[in-house]
Amino acid sequence: MSDTVIQNHEPNYLEYKGRYKGIFAWIFSTDHKRIGLLYLYSMLVLFSIAAILGLLMKIELIAPGRTIMDAQTYNSFFTLHGITMIFLIVVPGLPAVFGNFFLPLMIGAKDVAFPKLNLLSWWIYILGAAIALSAQFFGDGPPDTGWTFYAPYSFRTGTNMLPAVTGAFILGFSSIATGINFIVTMHRMRAPGMDWMKMPLFPWALYGTSWIQVLATPIVGVTLLMIVLERTMQIGFFDPALGGDPILYQHLFWIYSHPAVYIMILPAMGVISEIIPTFARKTIFGYKAIVISTLAIAFVGYFVWGHHMFTSGMSGTALYTFSILTFLVAIPSAIKIFNWVATLHKASIDIQTPFLWALCFLFVFMIGGLSGMVLGALSANVHLHDTAFVVAHFHFIVFGGTGYAFFGALHYWYPKMFGRMYDKGWANIGLAIFFTGFNTLYLPMFYLGMIGMPRRYYDYVEEFHGPNIVSSFGAMLMISGLVIIITNLVRSARKGEIAEADPWKSKTLEWTVASPPPLENFAEIPVVTKRPYDYE
Amino acid sequence: MEKEHTHIVKYKTYVFVLIALLFMTFASVAITSINLGPYTVSAALLLASIKSILVLLIFMHLKFDKKFYSLMVGGVLLLFACVIFITFLDYLYR
Amino acid sequence: MNKPAHIDEHRDDEGAKTGMWIFIFTELILFGGLFIVYSVYRYLNPAAFHLAAEELDTFIGTVNTVILLVSSMTIAMSISAIQYKNKKLTLILMSVTILLAAVFMVNKYFEWSGKISHGIYPGSPTLMEASQGEILFFGLYYAMTGLHAIHIIIGVAFIAYVMVLVAKDEIQHDNFVILENSGLYWHLVDLIWIFLFPLFYLIT
């Protein structure tokens, strides 16, 4: 697979001139690579907005009492921050950007199975995003329920809930369309010779993810629909006054939203499983164990939703069951950590920026995972529920897991996507500042949660002041790191050095084509004979 | 293009299936009109399940398609059954 | 795209069918969410659900069940017909399916408007005086049969579109996966009704 085919005569996908011109050549393109970049750019804009909201919230929390905003503004900020980050960035993030771009390349296909559906799913994404964000500007004030839309508050509050809920509902279709596309692509379009056990691990992770997207998203769809009906037509579903049970709303919401956590984290694990063998220059340790644990996470991840509801008043039987299942689902995640670490054992490691991101991922992901175990224990959960500890925990998992993997993936595949290399020095400096800021921001929140600071309040008592100052300072540091990282990447897309086809000497299929890849990916569909990480 | 739709289902098969489905519909109406107490619902749901299996196998061609489709359908139903079961762990013991 | 060889033109019937099946799973789960709600509230309010279900007309429900089952058969037959290269029969069977769907909707209309004229609709004064179980029952009744009716409309539109393709000979005996997929969708609508019928009309 090392004989690289450089197709100079073939225009690459960035230069290709189709039927449309200018921006239309992008927004009407059915090319999976262009769609991947469309998602990337949309998410970059949305991520910047949501990150600034997060920063403003941390500045508000730098001192007790009102600092820069009032309570209602704070409520709407954490709602919008949550909706944007969850529904618009981390849930679709890795599959929509890197899945779209690299899934066909990695399995030796020319495109996904349904290119038009793929484009449609981007349009639905934009539509959903626009509707969800419009909630901020019209009606009776921005939503203030948090991203979970808990009943009965979500249909009692006077704020502008309908667009937010409808937007989230529409985004579900985008997610489902992508999921269907990927599953069919992997079933039908793998290159000759690539049987399931020769498929690289990122596609495997996408496979598990896609099934969750397809089978869990409809539940939240119908639940949000019920909220809409309850608000507009007074149909009783969750309103206790009409006989409904608000806890049932929580059940339905988390039946989706817990698996959604695995939609976020599985592809992240897939990315790490690509980066580590590349820079360790070794076959990944326990390929089969990683595959099986991916599928196990996807399956068991369905049955642990109740651990978000330990204090809601569920039955004891349900509490014990969910707690046990929560501990069980940690096992396959731990298996992966051991696999990655074992891969590094006695390897001659080539330390590059993507590899550093993967190392940082391992560090923060372990903190996130282990703090999850604390929350999964019933007795500890009663104490820590809805405190800053929970906020720290899921930021370590969601931002520390998916976010680090996203940036890791961006630095890993950047030369392939744009045909240029970023400035490695600045990338590493940015990472160092970002990583320091990240830990300074979220580690104190574990402590704050343990001494009793609740989440979602713009104010706190004087005892919590010290750690909050540290945390807010960390937020500023982290954002400056992000600015360096993103500026470096944006700048290098035009001015970076020209990258070769396989700058990391990696062995998976996407590195066998030119950088940036030609429109049709492969001039001839490759025949696969080896396992994906055949370095020895 | 590989030939993958070679099987043609006879019209007669469909008619028989329809007769069976109609029979079960009327049977479930009849059963529920006599009072069987708690068994009424289970009887009606049992008949509904048999009907849906018939629809899945014959009308939706699962019987004639690759095993892979039946496997997927079975998996999805199993998953859904597990979700209902776990939800009821809360309501049954609250 | 300028180049005709682009992947857009790539044809994979088996893949299209796999995609349709997965989409059907999402629809099943969508209704599954409502079935969970139904089963929980029925478990919590058995007597009220029993009482409320007596308001529904078993006869109309049975008629609509028969209609949907027959229409399911006709659309299934149309697939055999196209494989036998009988275009005329295919079109007839598809029109019968659409016609039956229309009858179903008319029945549904009369059933709903009957309920509404009796003052039973979400938020109505009559319903608000009823027990909580009955409020929940009728809320679910309108939501689930309403969502089902929306699926009927989508199914009819899908089948009508495929009929146009058949009429234009764009679908033939060796290229009928879209017809098959529209059939699968229609059977899904039928499958859901198979469960809605006993749960709402037969639990008296």
Could you count the other beta carbons within 10 Å of the beta carbon of residue C157? 12
User: What tens digit of pLDDT does each residue of A348-402 get?
Assistant: 899 999 999 999 999 999 999 999 999 999 999 999 999 999 999 999 999 999 9
**Is the pLDDT score of A177 beyond 80?**
yes
Tally DSSP H helices, then E strands, for chain A. Answer: 18, 2
In chain A, the number of structural domains is 1
CA quadruple A257, A263, A266, A267: dihedral sign: negative
Contact C136 A244 (CB under 8 A): yes
Could you count the other beta carbons within 10 Å of the beta carbon of residue C118? 12
**Would A18 be classed as within a structural domain?**
no
Q: Are residues B71 and B33 in the same domain?
A: no
Mean of per-residue pLDDT scores for chain C:
88
Domain with residue A169: its CATH number is 1.20.210.10
Q: Are residues B54 and B25 in the same domain?
A: yes
**Would A150 be classed as within a structural domain?**
yes
Owner of token pair 């240029």: A420
Confidence grade of residue C204 (pLDDT, cut at 50, 70, 90): low
Q: What integer pLDDT is reported at residue A370 of this predicted model?
A: 92
CA distance A203 to A428: 28
Q: Are residues B45 and B69 in the same domain?
A: no
**Is the pLDDT score of A6 beyond 50?**
no
Q: At what angle do helices A465-495 and A32-60 cross, to 10 degrees?
A: 150
Confidence grade of residue A4 (pLDDT, cut at 50, 70, 90): very low
**Would A22 be classed as within a structural domain?**
no
Confidence grade of residue C151 (pLDDT, cut at 50, 70, 90): very high
As a whole number, mean pLDDT of residues A399-411 equals: 94
**Is the pLDDT score of A489 beyond 60?**
yes
CA distance A280 to A340: 10
Note down the domain range covering B39.
Answer: 1-59
- Exposed/middle/buried for B38, CB within 10 Å: 0-12, 13-18, 19+? exposed
**Is the pLDDT score of A15 beyond 80?**
no
Q: Are residues B2 and B19 in the same domain?
A: yes
Chain A residues touching residue B76 (CB < 8 angstroms)? 215
CA quadruple A104, A108, A110, A112: dihedral sign: negative
Question: Rounded to 10 degrees, what is the CA torsion of C3, C7, C9, C12?
Answer: 160
**Is the pLDDT score of C10 beyond 90?**
no
Contact C22 B72 (CB under 8 A): yes
Using alpha carbons, select from A246, A222, A248 the residue that is nearest to residue B90. A248
Strand partners, A498: A420
Decide if A113 contacts A107 (C-beta within 8 A). Answer: no
B14 close contact with C: CB closer than 8 A: yes
**Would A87 be classed as within a structural domain?**
yes
B31, amino acid identity: I
DSSP letter, residue A88:
I
In chain B, the number of structural domains is 2
Mean of per-residue pLDDT scores for chain A:
90
**Is the pLDDT score of A8 beyond 70?**
no
Owner of token pair 């009887």: B43
Confidence grade of residue A239 (pLDDT, cut at 50, 70, 90): confident
CA distance C86 to A211: 38
Confidence grade of residue C4 (pLDDT, cut at 50, 70, 90): very low
Q: What integer pLDDT is reported at residue A241 of this predicted model?
A: 84
Chain A, chain B: beta-carbon pairs less than 8 Å apart: 37
Chain B, chain C: beta-carbon pairs less than 8 Å apart: 112
What are the backbone dihedrals phi and psi of residue A313, each rounded to the nearest 5 degrees, phi first?
105, 30
Q: Are residues B41 and B76 in the same domain?
A: no
As a whole number, mean pLDDT of residues B43-66 equals: 90
CA distance A195 to A530: 10
Distance of CA A502 to the CA centre of its chain: 26
CA distance A162 to A210: 28
User: What tens digit of pLDDT does each residue of A280-292 get?
Assistant: 998 999 999 999 9
A295 close contact with B: CB closer than 8 A: no
C25 close contact with A: CB closer than 8 A: yes
Domains, in order of start, for chain C: 16-202 (1.20.120.80)
Structure tokens at A17: 């001139």
Q: Are residues B46 and B77 in the same domain?
A: no
CA distance A142 to A228: 16
Chain A residues touching residue B79 (CB < 8 angstroms)? 215, 299, 302
**Is the pLDDT score of C93 beyond 90?**
yes
Which of A20-24, C33-37, C60-64 has the weakest average pLDDT?
A: A20-24
**Is the pLDDT score of A54 beyond 90?**
yes
Q: What integer pLDDT is reported at residue A2 of this predicted model?
A: 39
Using alpha carbons, select from A39, A40, A18 the residue that is nearest to residue A29. A18
Q: Are residues B34 and B52 in the same domain?
A: yes
Note down the domain range covering A273.
Answer: 30-511
Strand partners, A454: A387
Q: What integer pLDDT is reported at residue A396 of this predicted model?
A: 94
**Would A106 be classed as within a structural domain?**
yes
User: What tens digit of pLDDT does each residue of A293-326 get?
Assistant: 999 998 888 899 999 999 888 898 999 999 999 9
Contact A317 B89 (CB under 8 A): yes
C191 close contact with B: CB closer than 8 A: yes
